[in-house]
């Protein structure tokens, strides 16, 4: 895929230091054409970069596809791990704010970071406006 500012393939290599897998390029092509994608791949296959790279690329070439990414995961440990592994690279290379929003680490309660890692329950809780873990009864 070629857009102003070079190809996605070149961008991926310069950013992450390795060639993108064919499926990562396919995901980027679809997402950059405003299509929805469901990605299923094994652990460690590069799903996070497949999801984030089109967003970063679009920002880099000055044609952002979204104002932010909210990356919701099933468990806190995974959200924390991906936040740590992504934060330094993204903030250093792109100057974007990478945040972590969870009940035990409420650093971005309004999901205002450029890339926000969170858990599914935290995202749903924020969406309905009810603090996660709040009881409906006042015993």
pLDDT digits (tens, 9 = 90+) for 105-136: 777 888 999 999 999 988 998 888 766 554 45
Question: Do both 79 and 102 map to the same domain?
Answer: yes
pLDDT of residue 134: 45
Calculate Rg over the CA atoms of the chain: 16
Question: Do both 72 and 137 map to the same domain?
Answer: yes
Alpha-carbon distance 76 to 85, whole Å?
Answer: 14
Alpha-carbon distance 125 to 10, whole Å?
Answer: 39
Tell me the HSE value of 135 on the side-chain side, using a 13 A CA sphere: 3
Point out the domain boundary residue: 66, 89, 108: 66
Question: Do both 84 and 122 map to the same domain?
Answer: yes
Question: Do both 19 and 76 map to the same domain?
Answer: no
Point out the domain boundary residue: 36, 51, 66: 66
pLDDT of residue 69: 97
Question: Do both 134 and 79 map to the same domain?
Answer: yes
Rounded-to-10 torsion of CA 115, 120, 122, 125: 120
Structural domains of the chain, count: 2
Point out the domain boundary residue: 66, 85, 114: 66
Residue whose tokens read 């929805």: 36
Question: Do both 49 and 91 map to the same domain?
Answer: no
Question: Do both 73 and 138 map to the same domain?
Answer: yes
Is residue 18 within 8 A of residue 10, CB to CB? The reply is no
Global pTM value: 0.85
- Identify the domain containing residue 46 by its residue range: 1-66
How many C-beta atoms lie closer than 10 Å to residue 28's C-beta?
24
Percent of the chain at pLDDT > 90 equals 73
Question: Do both 14 and 32 map to the same domain?
Answer: yes
């Amino acid at each position: 895929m070629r857009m102003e500012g070079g190809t996605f393939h070149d961008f991926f290599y310069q950013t992450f230091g390795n060639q993108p897998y064919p499926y990562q390029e396919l995901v980027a092509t679809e997402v950059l054409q405003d299509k929805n994608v469901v990605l299923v791949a094994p652990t460690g296959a590069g799903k996070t970069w497949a999801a984030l790279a089109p967003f970063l690329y679009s920002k880099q070439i000055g044609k952002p596809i979204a104002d932010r990414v909210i990356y919701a995961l099933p468990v806190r440990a995974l959200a924390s791990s991906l936040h740590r592994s992504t934060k330094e690279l993204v903030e250093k290379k792109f100057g974007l704010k990478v945040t972590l929003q969870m009940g035990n680490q409420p650093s971005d309660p309004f999901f205002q970071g450029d890339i926000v890692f969170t858990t599914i329950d935290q995202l749903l809780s924020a969406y309905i406006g009810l603090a996660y873990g709040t009881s409906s009864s006042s015993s």
